[in-house]
Amino acid sequence: MYKDIINYQLADGISEQHLLDVAGNIIESWMKKQTGFIRWEIHKSADGYTDIVYWQSEKDAKNSEKDMVNIPNAADWYGCYKEGSINSQNLQSIGLFE
């Protein structure tokens, strides 16, 4: 499994509910159609927000990045993020213990 981890702040005037509404639209209109997509989690901490997007493989994640130009209403999604606040990392699972 491959994970995209994205940390950010909300743009001024953007509520959590708006973020969740826009994310729901993105999930239904684009993300669920991406090969290898598993799930998208949105978390909140004292430092801001963190999205964790789960993919079957790194290849699936990278292919979806190339397809981001086709996201319907992408401006609504990008408008949720405070400019300059986004940073990301990628994780490859090597073990899972439960």
Q: Residue ranges per domain, the chain?
A: 2-92
Q: What is the CATH number of domain 2-92?
A: 3.30.70.100
Considering the entire predicted model, what is its pTM? 0.89
Checking 24-30 for CB contacts under 8 A at 24+ apart, the result is 25/72, 25/73, 25/76, 26/71, 26/73, 26/77, 29/71, 29/72, 29/73, 30/67, 30/70, 30/71, 30/72
User: Can you give the pLDDT of all 98 residues of the chain as single tens digits?
Assistant: 999 999 999 999 999 999 999 999 999 999 999 999 999 999 999 999 999 999 999 999 999 999 988 898 889 999 999 999 999 998 888 888 98
Transcribe 6-65 into DSSP letters.
EEE-BPTT--HHHHHHHHHHHHHHTGGGSTTEEEEEEEEETTEEEEEEEES-HHHHHHHH
Question: In the prediction, which pLDDT does 91 show?
Answer: 86
Question: In the prediction, which pLDDT does 93 show?
Answer: 86
